[in-house]
């Protein structure tokens, strides 16, 4: 872990099972999705006067509570404030959302899925902007995702579906941005 904290602050990396992985800067579509998801989740928590916290990358998660794994999920919800410290989350968040990119897709789909499952993450979402779909792994360790389109409203299992995110609304900003690029 000393090697992890000795890195330069402007270099984004994750440490998974003792191996460092470089992380590229996210693009515009990634950032729009991240912000819209965070705002929607935070609005729900505020409305319900909940104790959960929404955290966005870069924020360290010492997932296995050991010195071999430090990840930075794109977005997470932590409902146990005792696992949050000023510098990191020490243990498994309740909900993790990763937005797939060409540089991280295989790691998010395989390596991190297994890590999150073993660490006790309750729900894991993989948002795929290229395929315009969201794969939801609820009730981990079950490994059969429910796949939704960007036109669907997706229930958040963490709150037993009381919170649902309208991906048509969330992805509307992406369509406007893509139209501007043409």
- Cα–Cα distance, 171 to 123 (Å, whole number): 21
Task: Tell me how far apart the terminal alpha carbons of the chain are, to the nearest angstrom.
Answer: 45
* Residue 15 lies inside a defined structural domain of this protein: no
pTM for this model (two decimals): 0.90
> Taking 60 as the threshold, does the pLDDT of residue 3 lie above it?
no
* Residue 9 lies inside a defined structural domain of this protein: no
- Cα–Cα distance, 68 to 46 (Å, whole number): 35
* Residue 49 lies inside a defined structural domain of this protein: yes
Q: How many domains does the chain have?
A: 1
The neighbouring-strand residues paired with 13 are 22
Query: How large a percentage of the chain has pLDDT more than 70?
Result: 92
Q: What CATH number is attached to the domain comprising 146? A: 3.90.1570.10
Q: How confident is the model over 78-129, as pLDDT tens digits?
A: 999 999 999 999 999 999 999 999 888 888 888 899 999 999 999 999 999 9
* Residue 142 lies inside a defined structural domain of this protein: yes
* Residue 21 lies inside a defined structural domain of this protein: no
């Amino acid at each position: 872990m000393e090697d992890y904290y000795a890195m330069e602050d402007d270099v984004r990396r994750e440490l998974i099972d003792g191996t460092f992985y470089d992380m590229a800067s996210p693009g515009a579509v990634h950032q729009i999705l991240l912000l819209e998801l965070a705002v929607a989740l935070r609005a729900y928590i505020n409305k319900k006067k909940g104790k959960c916290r929404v955290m966005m990358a870069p924020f360290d998660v010492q997932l296995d509570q050991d010195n071999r794994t430090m990840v930075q999920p794109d977005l997470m919800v932590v409902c146990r404030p005792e696992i949050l410290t000023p510098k990191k989350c020490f243990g498994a968040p309740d909900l993790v959302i990763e937005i797939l990119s060409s540089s991280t897709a295989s790691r998010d789909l395989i390596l991190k899925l297994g890590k999150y499952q073993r660490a006790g993450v309750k729900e894991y979402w993989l948002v795929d902007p290229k395929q315009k779909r969201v794969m939801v792994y609820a009730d981990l360790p079950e490994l059969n995702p429910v796949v939704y389109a960007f036109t669907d409203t997706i229930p958040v299992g963490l709150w037993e579906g009381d919170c649902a995110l309208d991906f048509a609304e969330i992805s509307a900003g992406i369509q406007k941005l893509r139209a501007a690029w043409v």
